[in-house]
C-alpha cells in the first residue's frame, strides 16, 4: 500500500499532508458526505478544539447548521496498539452518545449521524480508511454554559432560572444513569445552551463509561473531579463513576450560582480543599455566599465518602435545590450590585453581586482573578489562602470566620481536562494550529 497522503478536503480543494503520527485537521471549506440522502455538509468555521479533535460549525445545502466533531486517529503504522486504543475510545463515545440520546431525550445533544469518508487510493478509488470520524450533532446557537456564566452573566442572581436549568441538567444525568452510563466529565463547557440559556443539553461522551466501579484515575476535568477519582493510584480501591458525577453536578451548581469554583482541585494538596476537609459542615458558607440550607445539601453532595454521596444520589441533590429555590424571590437578586435581600433560598442573605460574580460581604472591592488559562501548571494558582487563625478544627464552626478571611475562593476558569478527547462548541476564529492541545477559551 502506498504512503498515505491525506487529502483533507474529501471532495477536492487544498491538500494537507499529515505527519507520520496524527493527521492535520480538515481545512475550512471541506465537504463531508456519507452518501446518504442526508447530503453533504460543509465545514464553515471552528467552534472549539483540543489535542484529539476539532469541533466545526457546518452547514447543509438547505442552510441548516450543525456542530461537527472531528475525531482524529493516529496514522502511525508503527504503533498499531495506539490506533486500536483510539478506535475503541471513539467507538465507545459514539455508542454511549447514541444510547443516551435514543428517543430524542430533551436533555441530551442529538447525534444525527456519523460520517467516516473513504479517501482516494493510488488508483483513484475511494478505498483507503479515513483518519477522521465526524460526529454530526445539534448546533447550539447560544454556545456553552461556560460562556453564559462567565462572559454573559446570564444566571447570576436569578435563582429561579438557575433552579430550572440545573433541573434540566440533573434530569439528563439521571437519564444516563438509568441506562448505566456515567458521564465523568460534567462541567460548563460540556453543557450546550439554547433559548438564551433557558434550555440546556448535555454533550461530549468522550469520557463516559458503563463501569459501575472504575480504576481509571484522573479521568475528567480537575475543577469538577471528585477526590477519589483525582487522588487514586494502582493500590487504591475502585471508585464509583456515579458518585463522581454527583460531585461534579454540585460543583457545576456553584458555578451557576456564583460564577466561581470552590477550589482549584479536590486534593489535600490544595489549601482551600484542605480547609474544607477540616470542617466540611461549616467551611463553604465562609468563602461563598450560599444559604445555610444549600450548604446542608452540598455537604451531602460533596461528601468525601463516595458511598454516602452515592446513596444521596442525583435526586437528593436535585430535590434539595428545587425546594430551596421555591423559597426565594429571585426579583430581589436581579439587579447586580450591593444589596441585602430579606431572605434567600440558595444565596446567603448578605450576598453581594460585584465584578460578574457572587461575593461574600468581606470580598467587596477585592480583586479576584477572572480565570486561568486552564493549563495544568496554573490549576492551583487561584485557591483561597487560609490564614492560620481561620483553619478550623474538624466539624467545629470557626469563630469570626468572615472577619478573618483574607482572600476569595477559586476563580472560575476553564477546566483542565485529563482525557483522550476534547470538544467545546464556542464560536471562535480558526486556530493557527488546531491539532495542539490548547483551550478554546483563554483569558
pLDDT at 304 over 60: yes
Query: Is residue 48 located within the same domain as residue 125?
Result: yes
pLDDT for position 343 = 40
Query: Is residue 95 located within the same domain as residue 216?
Result: no
Three-class SS of residue 323? helix
> Phi and psi for 14 in degrees, rounded to 5?
-65, 145
Query: Is residue 42 located within the same domain as residue 172?
Result: no
Query: Is residue 186 located within the same domain as residue 314?
Result: yes
**CA distance linking residue 352 with residue 344, whole number of Å:** 12
pLDDT for position 416 = 57
**CA distance linking residue 190 with residue 423, whole number of Å:** 8
Query: Is residue 99 located within the same domain as residue 235?
Result: no
As a whole number, mean pLDDT of residues 184-195 equals 96
Predicted TM-score (pTM) of this structure:
0.80
CATH code (residue 49): 3.30.200.20
Query: Is residue 178 located within the same domain as residue 202?
Result: yes
Which H or E run includes 238? Answer: none
% pLDDT > 70, the chain:
70
Domain count, the chain: 2
Q: Was 69 annotated as part of a binding site?
A: yes
Q: How many other C-beta atoms are found inside a 10 Å radius of the C-beta of residue 378? A: 13
Three-class SS of residue 358? strand
Q: What confidence tens digit (pLDDT) does each residue in 243-256 have?
A: 999 999 999 999 99
pLDDT: is 324 or 8 the higher one?
Answer: 324
Q: Which domain holds residue 46?
A: 31-138
Q: What confidence tens digit (pLDDT) does each residue in 54-86 have?
A: 999 999 999 999 999 999 877 666 777 877 888
Query: DSSP alpha helices (H): ranges in 46-190?
Result: 80-101, 145-150, 159-178
Q: What angle do CA 308, 310, 316 make, to 5 degrees?
A: 95
The residue out of 108, 138, 168 marking a domain boundary is 138
Q: Is residue 442 part of a domain?
A: no
Mean of the per-residue pLDDT values of the chain: 79
pLDDT for position 52 = 64
The residues, ordered by sequence, that sit 6+ positions from 41 with a Cβ below 8 Å of its Cβ are 31, 32, 33, 58, 59, 60, 66, 68, 115, 136
CATH code (residue 362): 1.10.510.10
The residues annotated as belonging to the active site are 185
Query: Is residue 298 located within the same domain as residue 399?
Result: yes
Q: Is residue 428 part of a domain?
A: no
**CA distance linking residue 188 with residue 145, whole number of Å:** 5
Amino acid at each position: 500500500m502506498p504512503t498515505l497522503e491525506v487529502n483533507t478536503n474529501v471532495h477536492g480543494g487544498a491538500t494537507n499532508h499529515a505527519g507520520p503520527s496524527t493527521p492535520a485537521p480538515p481545512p475550512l471549506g471541506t465537504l463531508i458526505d456519507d452518501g446518504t440522502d442526508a447530503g453533504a455538509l460543509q465545514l464553515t468555521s471552528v467552534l472549539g478544539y483540543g489535542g484529539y479533535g476539532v469541533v466545526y460549525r457546518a452547514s447543509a445545502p438547505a442552510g441548516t447548521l450543525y456542530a461537527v466533531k472531528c475525531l482524529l486517529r493516529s496514522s502511525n503504522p508503527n504503533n498499531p496498539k495506539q490506533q486500536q486504543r483510539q478506535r475503541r475510545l471513539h467507538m465507545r463515545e459514539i455508542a454511549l452518545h447514541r444510547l443516551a440520546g435514543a428517543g430524542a431525550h430533551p436533555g441530551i445533544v442529538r447525534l444525527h449521524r456519523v460520517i467516516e469518508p473513504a479517501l482516494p487510493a493510488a488508483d483513484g478509488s475511494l478505498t483507503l480508511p479515513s483518519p477522521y470520524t465526524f460526529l454530526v450533532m445539534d448546533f447550539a446557537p447560544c454556545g456553552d454554559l461556560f460562556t453564559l456564566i462567565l462572559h454573559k452573566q446570564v444566571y447570576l442572581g436569578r435563582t429561579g432560572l438557575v433552579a430550572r436549568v440545573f433541573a434540566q441538567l440533573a434530569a439528563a444525568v439521571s437519564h444516563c444513569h438509568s441506562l448505566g452510563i456515567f458521564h465523568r466529565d460534567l462541567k460548563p463547557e460540556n453543557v450546550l445552551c439554547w433559548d438564551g440559556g433557558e434550555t440546556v443539553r448535555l454533550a461530549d461522551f468522550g469520557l463516559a463509561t458503563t463501569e459501575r466501579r472504575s480504576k481509571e484515575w484522573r479521568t475528567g476535568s480537575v475543577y469538577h473531579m471528585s477526590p477519589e477519582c483525582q487522588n487514586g493510584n494502582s493500590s487504591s480501591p475502585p471508585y464509583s463513576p456515579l458518585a463522581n458525577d454527583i460531585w461534579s453536578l454540585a460543583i457545576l451548581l456553584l458555578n451557576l450560582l456564583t460564577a466561581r469554583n470552590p477550589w482549584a482541585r479536590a486534593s489535600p494538596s490544595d489549601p482551600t480543599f484542605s480547609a474544607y476537609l477540616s470542617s466540611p459542615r461549616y467551611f463553604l458558607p465562609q468563602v461563598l455566599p450560599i444559604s445555610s440550607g444549600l450548604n446542608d445539601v452540598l455537604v451531602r453532595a460533596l461528601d468525601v465518602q463516595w458511598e454516602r454521596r452515592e446513596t444521596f444520589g442525583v435526586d437528593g441533590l436535585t430535590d434539595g435545590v428545587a425546594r430551596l429555590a421555591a423559597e426565594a424571590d429571585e426579583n430581589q437578586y436581579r439587579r447586580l450590585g450591593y444589596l441585602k435581600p430579606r431572605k434567600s433560598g440558595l444565596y446567603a442573605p448578605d450576598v453581594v453581586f460585584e465584578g460578574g460574580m457572587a461575593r461574600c460581604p468581606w470580598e467587596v472591592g477585592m480583586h479576584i482573578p477572572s480565570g486561568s488559562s486552564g493549563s495544568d501548571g496554573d490549576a492551583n494558582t487561584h485557591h483561597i489562602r487560609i490564614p492560620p487563625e481561620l483553619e478550623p478544627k474538624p466539624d467545629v464552626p470557626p469563630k469570626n470566620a468572615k472577619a478573618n478571611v483574607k482572600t476569595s475562593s477559586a476563580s472560575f476558569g476553564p477546566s483542565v481536562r485529563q482525557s483522550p478527547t476534547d470538544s467545546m462548541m464556542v464560536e471562535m476564529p480558526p486556530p493557527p494550529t488546531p491539532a495542539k492541545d490548547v483551550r478554546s477559551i483563554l483569558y
